[in-house]
Amino acid sequence: MVLQSEILNRLAPLELKARTIVEGFISGLHRSPYHGFSVEFAEHRPYNQGDDFKHIDWKAYGKSERFYVKQYEAETNLRAHIALDISSSMYFKHFADWSKLRYAIHYASALMYMMNRQRDATGLILFDDQIRAEYPAKSSQTHLRMLFQKLEEELQQEQSKSKERRVSASAEALHSLAERLKRRSLVIVLTDLFENVEGHDALMSALRHLKHQKHEVLLFNVLEHQSERELDFEDGKFLFEDMETGSEMEVIPNQVREDYQKKVQEFTKKFKIDCSNARVDFEEIDTQSPFDLALLAYLNKRKKLG
């Protein structure tokens, strides 16, 4: 990672880590091929004729001699809901420093921090085979700190030796979410898509359901690519365990790697086509890679929405 995980691990609380990730990303934009990308974090807007004088920020006027109006939650540009998969498969890591869940939580935190700076309202949904917790979209600092606290609790759960097995079933959770969200929103889904192949038709149906309800959808597939996509293990025999069911299987990776990679590529290609046809934005996240490309994918989506 550009921001080494060991550095972030020393920081606390999660809010500080999120700020560090975002500020590192923004400074990197100016030194990268994306330097032309505009990132504006405005907590004020220019005064317009007819605005109430009581909302003018006089401190800002004293510094700039220009009138600016403080923005409030009612003037939010965007409503976003981050749907985070907390099923047991998200606890997996082998080569990466962080599990898929820990990586996704830090990425979600960075998104929340970025949205809050842009005065966007942010909500949070935690799901496995059903919605386990749901927090509405708001743009206040108090609300943001509460969301950070809930994600901190999930990080603590990951470290618990007594954590229960939680099964993936994204389709059911997302169908339920589509019915619950009453106002048009951007729904950002963070999941490893760890469900039976036949379950992905149901998942696509749930994503289309969200689109039918007029929501925009950005789906991030969170994986440790070296192990889960490439099966790039050293020579020898491995005992693989399903983290959601506990079932085990002995595998010699170099005997099945080529066929495995082919099937994964075929499946991914089909899923990307299905997402494109449903007008769902699909992005892959590698837990051994920086947050930068994933954050850029969000900003590109945010820019399209205006």
Would you state the pLDDT for residue 301?
87
Is the pLDDT at 168 greater than 60, yes or no?
yes
Would you state the pLDDT for residue 70?
62
Number of domains in the chain: 2
Task: Kindly state the average pLDDT of the residues 183-204.
Answer: 87
Residues 66 and 156 in one domain: no
Task: Kindly state the average pLDDT of the residues 247-262.
Answer: 93
Q: What percent of the chain has pLDDT over 90?
A: 54
Residues 65 and 166 in one domain: no
∠ CA 259-260-262, nearest 5°, is 65
Residues 63 and 167 in one domain: no
Handedness of CA 70, 18, 169, 232 (dihedral sign): positive
Range of the domain at 51: 44-71
Helix (H) or strand (E) segment spanning residue 190: strand 186-191
User: Is the residue at 39 inside a domain?
Assistant: no
CATH code, domain with 140:
3.40.50.410
Would you state the pLDDT for residue 4?
56
Task: Kindly state the average pLDDT of the residues 90-114.
Answer: 95
pTM of the full structure: 0.82
pLDDT tens-place string over residues 47-87: 666 666 666 667 766 667 676 666 554 445 789 999 999 99
Residues 111 and 254 in one domain: yes
Mean predicted lDDT score pLDDT of the chain: 84
Handedness of CA 95, 96, 99, 101 (dihedral sign): negative
Residues 90 and 104 in one domain: yes
Is the pLDDT at 98 greater than 50, yes or no?
yes
Is the pLDDT at 115 greater than 80, yes or no?
yes
Residues 48 and 26 in one domain: no
Residues 183 and 60 in one domain: no
Residues 164 and 239 in one domain: yes
